[in-house]
Structure 1
Amino acid sequence: MPTFTTQDGAEIFYKDWGPKDAQPIVFHHGWPLSGDDWDNQMMFFLGHGYRVIAHDRRGHGRSSQTAAGNEMDTYAADVAELVGVLDLKSAIHVGHSTGGGEVAHYVARAEAGRVDKAVLIGAVPPVMVKSERNPGGLPIEVFDGFRAALIANRAQFYRDVPAGPFYGFNRDGAKVSQGAVDNWWRQGMMGGAKAQYDCIRAFSETDFTEDLKAIDVPVLVMHGTDDQIVPIADSALLAHPLLKNGTLKTYEGLPHGMCTTHPDIINPDLLAFARG
């Protein structure tokens, strides 16, 4: 099982498939999942000749269940170490939800030549929580509720989220995939409760505004208009104008987890951006 050890001793699991001389695409998963959430996209891009990489963020999946370092500065530093270990150059970094925040935080600080492009899908930037500076954000009570539900009954909470708003399965006429719900639960329960608890603050309270302004490479911002987890009005529609070289693509009626529910729509758009 491929892993590397970070400077502070965390063991990070990663997958690395495809030709080592092909352009790398690095996938960054959302909370509280793992690199497995990208299996469809990894197989798709592998079939198109790319080198595909996905890691389990510290505290998630098969990586160490860390008690410390569960915040964006360390997440981005872990990515930088992974990129160094694999010596990735001209990579495309694709992040979903929390992973989109991780991408923004890493790419804004990346060594020259390491990053070619970036993609933010249903991503949390610029900042989720409501404040005087971000009046359209979600109240802190929403995230306090996440924390309380995780502590009270993590196993049930991790069924309720994918069975409801994450994939839009709570919408009338939705085609529910029990397999997708079960796989979300499986990934979530693999990780550590403490790390996932801490990550709620990381994804909700980190302000990525300066990261977005600092990114020079082309960035594709993809967001579903029916995203119930990261509402588009307070995320993609605010993030896109902050980017120097950004493209916004919205998907009418699609949910937060649209990479899983609609890969037939998302994957070709990702490929077109990668090739463009």
Structure 2
Amino acid sequence: MSRPDAGWAFARRGRNASSPQQTTGDDTMGTITTKDGTEIFYKDWGTGQPIVFHHGWPLSADDWDAQMMYFLGKGYRVIAHDRRGHGRSTQTATGNEMDTYADDVAALTNALDLKDAIHIGHSTGGGEVARYLGRHGTARVAKAVLIGAVPPIMVKSEKNPGGLPLEVFDGFRAALVANRAQFFLDVPAGPFYGFNRPGAKVSQGVIENWWRQGMMGGAKAHYDCIKAFSETDFTEDLKKIEVPVLVMHGDDDQIVPIADSAPLSAKLLKHGTLKVYPGLPHGLCTTHPDIVNPDLLAFIQA
């Protein structure tokens, strides 16, 4: 086992995307450097078929702890990165949109030479998975999973009358600029995990961990990402995907309402399967890993 601080020391050095730097031992982590000089932090644990996890806004790779530990124990290689502007990656002022996010993923998967990979994305990460597959193809990919994901498109328009009004996302931006630290407490304490529901089992640790991850990232990148996750249309990406895709969604999701997301995505996919979880919130991977993880395993092994 490497020293606890060793991975961080290596991670900050960065390398070209074709030559990732990482520690040795049971746990590895490091960075790649993309063509525009952005350092993308990642964790890479274990051996076997690779599973790549894509986190939601405004979080980090740490949001996948419950899944990474579970699948590591099942003999898989588990990989999670911090999106540019998030977590331990560079706090970028530019490139905070879906095409660049997808290109960063391609740089990472190429650098690690991942093959037959499973890509699992939550929320904004689900959009990132869809754009990565639509933009870069599925030659390195076996299957994908979209969990509480933003596709096909969140914002309301003439083409998408069931979406959320732009004013909702303007409110997000205003709250972030006014007091990001408070906003990043209010979201997890309320709708993200369903902790605002009567009888909810509230975890202060989960709330504070969400805040910790959010505050690690850059305010400019987080601000820009609101537009990326709310206004990007993933319809054509979904239509292009050739591999099997599992679409998982809680029907009490207050962040990405199910009616205008999961069922529509499943219909657009060539090989899509929809799985709805009654009563579960947006952050179901954290609140209900005992339900989510075995379902993910069953899909991967099918």
If the TM-score is normalised by the length of the shorter chain, which range does it land in?
A: over 0.9
Alpha-carbon distance change, 169 to 114 in structure 1, aligned in 2, over 3 angstroms:
same
- Aligned with residue 3 of structure 1, among 24, 31, 38: 31
TM-score when normalising by structure 1: 0.99
Gaps of 5+ in 2: 1-10, 12-29
Give the corresponding residue for 1:55: 81
Contact 2:59 2:86 in 1 (8 A): yes
Give the corresponding residue for 2:244: 218
Measured in 1, the distance between the counterparts of 2:98 and 2:65 equals 24
Tell me if 1:198 matches 2:224.
yes
Give the secondary-structure state (helix, strand or coil) at the position aligned to 1:180: helix
1:119-138 matched pairs, under 5 angstroms = 119-138=145-164
- Aligned with residue 156 of structure 1, among 182, 203, 218: 182
- State the shift of 1:108 in Å: 1.7
Give the secondary-structure state (helix, strand or coil) at the position aligned to 1:113: coil
Give the secondary-structure state (helix, strand or coil) at the position aligned to 1:165: coil
Q: What is the aligned length?
A: 274
TM-score when normalising by structure 2: 0.90
Give per-residue Cα distances to partners, 1:171-228, cap 9 Å, x unaligned.
0000000000000000000000000000000000000000000000000000000000
Runs of at least 4 residues off by over 3 Å: none
Give the corresponding residue for 1:100: 126
- State the shift of 1:109 in Å: 2.6
Tell me if 1:82 matches 2:108.
yes
Measured in 2, the distance between the counterparts of 1:41 and 1:223 equals 16
The amino acid across from 1:92 in the alignment is I
The higher-RCO structure (CA 8 Å, 6+ apart) is: 1
Measured in 2, the distance between the counterparts of 1:77 and 1:262 equals 31
Give the secondary-structure state (helix, strand or coil) at the position aligned to 1:109: helix
Measured in 1, the distance between the counterparts of 2:138 and 2:275 equals 27
Contact 2:38 2:84 in 1 (8 A): yes
Larger Rg: 2
Give per-residue Cα distances to partners, 1:109-134, cap 9 Å, x unaligned.
33553000000000000000000000
Identity of aligned residues (%): 80
Give the secondary-structure state (helix, strand or coil) at the position aligned to 1:241: helix
Tell me if 1:31 matches 2:33.
no
